[in-house]
Structure 1
């Protein structure tokens, strides 16, 4: 079972940095937090030089004084281990702890996350500061848990220090045993890359073409993930041993880290840092962009690690560093909307980043709730509104699970391999977004499930909860995964594949069998030909056979050949040299169905498929809402709560055919009722 946050009350709070502020501000800050309904703060994650000002000399008095005040004000505390920012004395004395670029350039002290996970001396010093802090704070009445490090693999997620090359060799020896097996896995016979000594083996390095051996590059990402987890384990093991009564988590989802494995193996639950406005400054270029609403897709991924989770950093103001002022201020209501976006998707503890905007440093334009002047503002008032609402209804939300009948499937193999392999990698985000838009605009909640090799029995039970699974472009498709998915379909599930499915094995080698490889039997089709659709090719159209509907087939086209008499051709290509060939098929397998679409997915095609699938909105029959409104369900055995979130700056007219209680306001609603711009309702049908 996934590791999930379990609390006896809903916690709302903020990230706080007592070392940044004059001590005279602490008491007033804590009192005002309590008045807003805050009950928790995070501290300490960037304060190594405060805790250890000189090597081997430990000093806790500043944080002890602050913690005494926090406890007196009834504010609970998450303590961070400060290993994301090693102090200057450490990097000066031990420069081997610093990270290095692929080209061999050392990243110097300053900023953060400039260390590597493999340096023996850094591991030793991280273990020591963690142990000293754990021993000092293990019985502190204010501290309820620990956040290890901060945003592992943020800023940079590749590591090329000499210690990393050495650690990679050890990892490969453990994985493959012999150079013969390594050479086979890496296809090293190609271009004469065969190794006859482990000393010849490295992480990827600059090459003439700029492209690495793809199998080496895939193993590099797997190594980085395992090495990151090993670094985290060092701290977690100490905290478990020394401070067993305090829980352990960490925050953020970043590249080249299997956060699912890390959560399973190490954490009590996973925590996330939610900044929805990133999706507005980097919007998708397709039809009807979701903007900040798209952040729900990331929250769905987090929910796959911990169904109930913590948001350790919730956006509360405009964001930007001194060299990039990126985000405008949230409009009135948006901060509250984003908070309930996290709650609707499963968060049971939320901390705003940050209590007060820093007056110095790289993040002095990354705004918190309070501005520099420390006077009342609308963000403080909005946080207070949320605090009062959660004091009233947080207990009813707490512990309820998000409910969905549809799941999008992901896996780390394809995420990491697709970074280099442009024949399918870029298609995944496009297709996932097309599906997520169709689901969102159709008011159909969805989950994100990550396929976990070696956990097929457990995952099959999890997948059985869904009517429909969408696996957009699993180029790497293990035989064990294919067998699990076939069993899911035979038992009555519906599975949808996109182009480029099943042509690689777990090493990233192309299979010497008809495509889609291990998915061919269940899909009932072979790929007889294929072509890329890019800037030099004309768009290719597709027509459904039984209705006058035309769609585009973007990105890449698999031209299909039916090889099973149980297959029905739903649509054919309507242009290019393969006009008339199958583009979309469905095959009956046992009690279920397998769809194969020979292209990338967009909003139009995903929406059409949804209309044909046996899934309906939970609003059907009692509520109608505009497409600007997101629908989410959190439920337990006692009751079901329906979240409506309006992402528009315009009022949404919601039509209710049954009397419904709105929990946040306490009103009873029926008929046509306006939902305010950026407004939120939590509904319970009467």
Structure 2
């Protein structure tokens, strides 16, 4: 196995997107001084600079980039050099209007923003590879460049194009997948609604039609769109790797979104990087930050890089609020707690013009006489104190199944309940574990599960035979498997698994359902022992399982709603409804305790407790989100790294504060 190159920045890298081309050169010297004051060690440059680097096709102007990289190197700041291919220049579109994307309604979009290109356009691919080649040839050996950043947020804004060029590329992709039309017709179920194809050229992307689309056509389209963008990434990456094989290459994911199948993407990156922005409408955004971070760490298989988040308000939500006191620091260190070895913001200096002029930055419009700047400087000092944490990993005995194919399919039209949302369902199961301080990994259904005691399957609507067998085998070999409603319902082609629900997991769960009774918005069903269920109910029959909870009212009164079965050497659970948070938390506590899974450390409610582990020490991150302060027991010979003081058996957190404790490992 080839060893991937690693980032040479020492400690926890710190910085953000740096766009000096937006400012006169006299500002650059001040930028360097302020970066040193803030402890910045790393910046991304050139992300949206194509029009300046290549003012006309094939003509390059590197004078500005030469100065920027030279200035960074002189000041000891490492550069993550981007290929600027997320925003082609106007001259490109005038020469190649066919490269503009077409939406499902047949409208060709215009240029004038970013990410506006057809992923299958030969002209775009050629131009992207050309500018990447020019950059790689010039800067492969530049001492400031420690990482290459391909493109920016693939799949953001425009992740699909329905033009004729894309249709032809889709057909090529389908030929590779299915080999012949008979196999495709069977996989797509085209006998339904007279959709049978006799010629490859009859197949189209899922453009707007008069009625519901074919779900397998939709699913393969999502797969194709993800793969087509991945092929653009690898084309640019391979150019850079040939020129600079010892320098790591990455791109920035948006892991919590649904555009791309990141399980397929992650192995192609030398260092997995992610962008994350909290929603101001989420009263407990720290939970979503944790879930996203755990997902990215799982994709990376270890430490990763937070390439973008915000110091304060963003500019793209309906209401863009500032962060509360201490929130900037808590958000950043929560990512470090869950595996980030680099922390970066969008962007270094707030723009005074352009579409993101109201997006916060490390240097805000108000300048250094601002709370954001003081917080930025403090965070730099914190990250400096945490240098030894770099390279340590998370530890978890609970895994949650996450699959983008299942997510796409669950949210296609014509489901029994159109209100089902994959991320919401997963978060509802993740949240009680977060509150209890239980560590979680995310896994693909066919992953090696031997490290876990519990595997949770909240929303795996689609699963292939291999994935289903792997999950069932985990329970048979002694693990605890918990499955949520409507999981295992269809195979990899979106075909319903016949014989009763929940399809792929029916036998292992020891139950059989013959009909769904989804609930209306706001409707609930009472559960035995108190509590309610929402979204879903179904008529279950026990076939080897026992009822743990039953429906207490409605047409299914007395029917099992939650079941458990001893299966092989392990246990399987099924939740045939969506329990209220208290009931769900209680159920998850019972099943994880039964499996021997304990919290990382007991702490008061509202205090996030996370552990990173190295061969010689455990690093315990304690973050008070509730603002009540707390006292948490730690080892007698522990040291609190942010202050450098001995912890001597306990750490006291002032309201809203953070501690990072090193506990020596023994044995």
- Give the TM-score taking structure 1 as reference length: 0.91
Q: For 2:83 and 2:500, how far apart are their aligned partners in 1?
A: 51
Map 1:120-159 onto structure 2 (within 5 A).
120-159=122-161
SS in 1 for 2:524: coil
**2:434 aligned with 1:448, yes or no?**
no
CA contact (8 A) 2:426 2:459 kept: no
Cα distance, 1:293 vs. partner? 3.1
CA contact (8 A) 1:656 1:670 kept: no
Cα distance, 1:70 vs. partner? 0.7
Cα distance, 1:376 vs. partner? 3.2
Q: For 1:608 and 1:304, how far apart are their aligned partners in 2?
A: 26
**2:568 aligned with 1:590, yes or no?**
yes
SS in 2 for 1:305: helix
Q: Which of 288, 298, 305 is residue 304 of structure 1 equivalent to?
A: 298
Q: Which of 582, 589, 599 is residue 577 of structure 2 equivalent to?
A: 599
Q: For 2:501 and 2:318, how far apart are their aligned partners in 1?
A: 47
Q: Counterpart of 2:480?
A: 494
Cα distance, 1:158 vs. partner? 2.5
Q: Counterpart of 1:466?
A: 452
The 1:190–1:535 alpha-carbon spacing in structure 2 relative to 1, beyond 3 Å, is: same
Q: For 1:559 and 1:171, how far apart are their aligned partners in 2?
A: 41
Q: For 1:619 and 1:124, how far apart are their aligned partners in 2?
A: 51
**2:235 aligned with 1:258, yes or no?**
no
Q: For 2:4 and 2:474, how far apart are their aligned partners in 1?
A: 24
Map 1:79-228 onto structure 2 (within 5 A).
79-209=81-211, 211-228=212-229
SS in 1 for 2:429: helix
Cα distance, 1:375 vs. partner? 3.2
CA contact (8 A) 1:424 1:473 kept: no
SS in 1 for 2:351: coil
Deviates more, 1:608-617 or 1:156-165: 608-617
Deviates more, 1:425-434 or 1:471-480: 425-434
Q: For 2:632 and 2:183, how far apart are their aligned partners in 1?
A: 64
Q: For 1:312 and 1:429, how far apart are their aligned partners in 2?
A: 22
CA contact (8 A) 2:629 2:653 kept: yes
Q: Counterpart of 2:633?
A: 656
Cα distance, 1:646 vs. partner? 1.5
The 1:605–1:430 alpha-carbon spacing in structure 2 relative to 1, beyond 3 Å, is: farther
SS in 1 for 2:376: helix
Q: For 1:394 and 1:601, how far apart are their aligned partners in 2?
A: 42
**2:465 aligned with 1:479, yes or no?**
yes
Q: For 2:168 and 2:540, how far apart are their aligned partners in 1?
A: 46
Q: Counterpart of 2:321?
A: 328
Q: Counterpart of 1:49?
A: 51
Q: For 2:339 and 2:22, how far apart are their aligned partners in 1?
A: 32
Q: For 1:73 and 1:182, how far apart are their aligned partners in 2?
A: 58
**2:657 aligned with 1:679, yes or no?**
yes
Q: For 1:657 and 1:16, how far apart are their aligned partners in 2?
A: 40
Q: Counterpart of 1:319?
A: 314
For residues 148-185 of structure 1, what are the alpha-carbon distances to aligned partners after superposition, in whole Å with 9 as ceiling and x for unaligned? 00000112323212211110111111111222222211
Q: For 2:605 and 2:6, how far apart are their aligned partners in 1?
A: 31
Q: Which of 356, 368, 374 is residue 375 of structure 1 equivalent to?
A: 368
Map 1:552-563 onto structure 2 (within 5 A).
552-563=532-543
Q: For 1:84 and 1:657, how far apart are their aligned partners in 2?
A: 47
Unmatched runs of 5 consecutive residues or more in structure 2: none
For residues 383-413 of structure 1, what are the alpha-carbon distances to aligned partners after superposition, in whole Å with 9 as ceiling and x for unaligned? 2222222222222x11111122212111122
Cα distance, 1:6 vs. partner? 5.8
CA contact (8 A) 1:651 1:674 kept: no
CA contact (8 A) 1:435 1:601 kept: no
**2:412 aligned with 1:410, yes or no?**
no
SS in 1 for 2:252: coil
SS in 2 for 1:553: strand
How many positions carry a matched residue from both structures? 653
Q: CA RMSD for the aligned pairs?
A: 2.1
Q: Counterpart of 2:605?
A: 627
The 1:442–1:6 alpha-carbon spacing in structure 2 relative to 1, beyond 3 Å, is: same
Unmatched runs of 5 consecutive residues or more in structure 1: 284-288, 544-548
- Give the TM-score taking structure 2 as reference length: 0.94
Q: Counterpart of 1:286?
A: none
For residues 496-529 of structure 1, what are the alpha-carbon distances to aligned partners after superposition, in whole Å with 9 as ceiling and x for unaligned? 0011122211100112222222212211111133
For residues 117-167 of structure 1, what are the alpha-carbon distances to aligned partners after superposition, in whole Å with 9 as ceiling and x for unaligned? 101111111111100100000010000111100000112323212211110
For residues 526-546 of structure 1, what are the alpha-carbon distances to aligned partners after superposition, in whole Å with 9 as ceiling and x for unaligned? 11332111138x521221xxx
Q: Counterpart of 2:527?
A: 542
